[in-house]
């Protein structure tokens, strides 16, 4: 089974995208739209402070009638960020996401963020792994 780091290495875009907490929410939305992603790390001087997602925007800005141009990211971000270690397997990531009802999982190594995995990244790896297992079983049966 692949590790979180191996999946990050396979991603087309594995840059660490982040935004600072004192920026307006609109800045995070612009970055998420540009990269077609659903969440963004909130960091300051390479330190993970939180995460802001489309869910945070919908719940804390839209539903409460706030302005994304005036409200700061620190006011709406999720502060208690759940992470996964770079050497953890993808199935552990799926378990963490399922248990915590989250769709994005920062990957850390030595207390440093090395990337972020989405539920889609892990689902794709699950499908690839299942296809591999099926091929192996079919090969075994035929021999």
Q: What is the pLDDT of residues 30-59, one digit of tens each?
A: 999 999 999 999 999 989 999 999 999 999
Helix (H/G/I), strand (E/B), else coil: 134: helix
Secondary structure of 98-143 in HEC code, one letter for each residue = HHHCCCEEEEEECCEEEEEEEHHHHHHHHHHHHHHHHHHHHHHHHC
**Domain containing 111 — which CATH number?**
3.10.580.10
Residue 104 contacts residue 38 (beta carbons within 8 Å): yes
pLDDT at 116 over 80: yes
Structural domain boundaries enclosing 23: 4-142
- Number of domains observed in the structure of the chain: 1
* Token pair belonging to 56: 């945070």
Residue count of the chain: 143
Question: Which residues have a Cβ under 8 Å from the Cβ of 87 and sit 6 or more positions away?
Answer: 3, 4, 5, 109
**For the whole model, what pTM was predicted?**
0.87
């Amino acid at each position: 089974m692949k590790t979180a780091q191996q999946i990050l290495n396979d991603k087309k875009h594995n840059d660490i995208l982040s935004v600072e907490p004192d920026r307006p929410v609109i800045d995070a939305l612009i970055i998420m739209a540009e990269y077609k992603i659903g969440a963004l790390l909130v960091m300051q001087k390479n330190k993970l402070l939180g995460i802001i997602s489309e869910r945070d925007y919908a719940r804390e800005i839209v539903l409460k009638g706030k302005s994304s141009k005036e409200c700061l990211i620190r006011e709406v971000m999720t502060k208690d960020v759940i992470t996964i270690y770079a050497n953890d397997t993808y199935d552990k990531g799926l378990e963490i996401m399922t248990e915590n009802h989250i769709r994005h999982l920062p990957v850390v190594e030595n207390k440093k963020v090395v990337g972020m995995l989405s539920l889609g990244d892990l689902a794709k790896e699950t499908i690839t792994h299942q296809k591999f297992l099926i091929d192996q079983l079919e090969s075994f049966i035929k021999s």
